[in-house]
Amino acid sequence: MDNFDYDAVVVGSGPNGLAAAIVLQQAGLSVLLIEGKKDLGGGLRTAELTLPGFHHDICSAIHPLAAASPYFQTLPLAQYGLEYITPPVAAAHPFDDGTAATVLNSLAETARRLGPDEQAYRDLMEPLVANWPSIANDVLAPLHIPKHPINMAQFGLSALLPATTLTNRFKTKEAKGLFAGMAAHSIQPLENITTSAIGLVLLTAAHRKGWPLPKGGSQRIADALVAHFVALGGKVETGTFVRSLAQLPKARAVLLDVTPAQLLQIAGHSLSTIYQWQLRRYRYGMGVYKVDWALDGPIPFTAPECHQAGTVHLGNTLAEIATSEKVAASGQHPSKPFVLLAQQSLFDDTRAPAGKHTAWAYCHVPNGSRVNMTDIIERQVERFAPGFRERIIGRHTFDTAQIEEHNPNYVGGDINGGLLNATQLYTRPALRASPYRTSKSGLYICSSATPPGGGVHGMCGYHAANRALKDVFNLKAPPLYQD
């Protein structure tokens, strides 16, 4: 190997690091994957956080993008024990009057339940769902000329809008609130342009494949990816926290599943002055405060639809959600935060002892906040599920610092690896011909701080590995899945 220990070294075993490592190994290279923790997976980890027998997803929980990933779908992950469970309701959105809007796998039924907004919802979503197979690989990619520009433009015209603008096409609180909850996954004020994009992608995913959860926990996705990497001949090293490039074995290519803050720490001295300047200007977004509960029974939601949903969005109206996100983005703490809640144990009996349940929830807070939001989050759950607190038998919390300690990529609690606003959507982490190349030859960044951004889909890792294969080895990555 010309005095090289490996062809490639990948640092970080989140979904993007794992995807990059597998792509490189599939190309016939010798690849070493290095993880700082003793367990592999990054944001894909599951543990008994509260009480014995209660298995909680530490970070990510519900996985519409993993199941629909154009790269992960090319891999035989079911052979390694990965099994998805799809709740009948992808997401429920309860209101104070005891009713709830719902997103189902059926687009027609979802629209029908929106009553006066049935046709407006169909007009918005039917073209996107129909066109998704032709644009998925372009949406989840760096900026480039799309293969189907007309279909892509149709998506872009709606995706670029602020969520508060797109919802003007709806008349009812149900449709407006439902879309606001989807758009709030962008973790930024809903008045920002492009906040409609994530809402449209999540709704499209729901109507194509649902919002599944992995049986046994999110760790199962990481376990399957690692098992496939090792089966291909890849090598894994855990418990090595990389603080400098000097720690790494000699390799022709190095790919770092880190964000700009860690990239500067690890390789700053070897990067150009202008690239370092760009990395220092990179912006992180709001953080999250997370609570996991062990419960004596299911959450007693008033709206019956919530009992069939893997995900529940707690925020009431569009106006309330928009206010909550704006308050947190301005550095304050909302008194009625938008809460994203998952109830995996309703559908997966491996998550809790018989008759017991788990629940997972977080709200958005200012980046780096140390404020304890437990009581405020629980009041929001109780608001839509009276009697909820009486069922709590165990509790575990993460503030932004604890989340970052668990995963250094979550700087200040930002689980998206950086603000996903208009200026950083395609230029993350810096404005360059390829966002995956650093200024140092042979050194690449493959984290969610590169396009297409946050989410468990592995596409940042896929594209970074493809770039490294072309630059260093004159090879190409395997083709993506075509639905």
pLDDT digits (tens, 9 = 90+) for 1-42: 478 999 999 999 999 999 999 999 999 999 999 999 999 999
The confidence score (pLDDT) of residue 483 equals: 80
The Cα–Cα gap between 64 and 77 comes to: 16
Beta strands in 166-296 (DSSP E): 213-214, 235-238, 251-256, 287-295
Lookup result for tokens 């707690």: 314
> Which stretch of 132-146, 169-183, 284-298 has the lowest confidence by average pLDDT?
132-146
Q: Give the chain's domains with CATH numbers.
A: 6-82+214-282+418-473 (3.50.50.60), 85-211+285-406 (3.90.660)
- Give me the DSSP letters along 312-333: EEE--SHHHHHHHHHHHHTT--
For residue 385, the Cα-to-chain-centroid distance in whole angstroms is 26
**Residue 16, pLDDT score:** 98
Under 8 Å CB-to-CB from 233, ≥6 apart: which residues? 25, 30
The predicted pLDDT at position 427 comes to: 87
β 89-94/84-85 pair status: unpaired
Count of other CB atoms within 10 angstroms of residue 413: 27
Segment 440-472, tens digit of pLDDT:
999 999 999 999 999 999 999 999 999 999 999
Given a cut of 90, whether residue 381 has pLDDT beyond it is yes
* pLDDT tens digits, 367-377: 999 999 999 99
Task: Read off the tokens for 297.
Answer: 């029974």
What percentage of residues in the chain have a pLDDT greater than 90? 97
CA geometry: angle 363, 419, 146, nearest 5 deg? 120
Task: Calculate mean pLDDT across residues 201-220.
Answer: 98
Chain centre distance of CA 148: 26
Q: Please provide residue 274's backbone torsions phi and psi, each rounded to the nearest 5 degrees.
A: -70, -35
| Residue indicated by tokens 């989340």 | 403
Confidence at 482, pLDDT banded by 50, 70, 90: confident
Residue position matching structure tokens 């209660």? 54
Q: What is the pLDDT of residue 378?
A: 98
Give the Cα separation of 462 and 23 in Å (integer): 7
The strand pairing partners of 313, in sequence order, are 340
- The alpha carbon dihedral of 108, 109, 110, 116 has a sign of positive
Q: What is the pTM of this model?
A: 0.97
Q: Which of 9-13, 78-82, 383-387, 429-433 has the lowest mean pLDDT?
A: 429-433
Q: Contact 90/310 with Cβ under 8 angstroms?
A: yes
Classified as helix, coil or strand, 427 is: coil
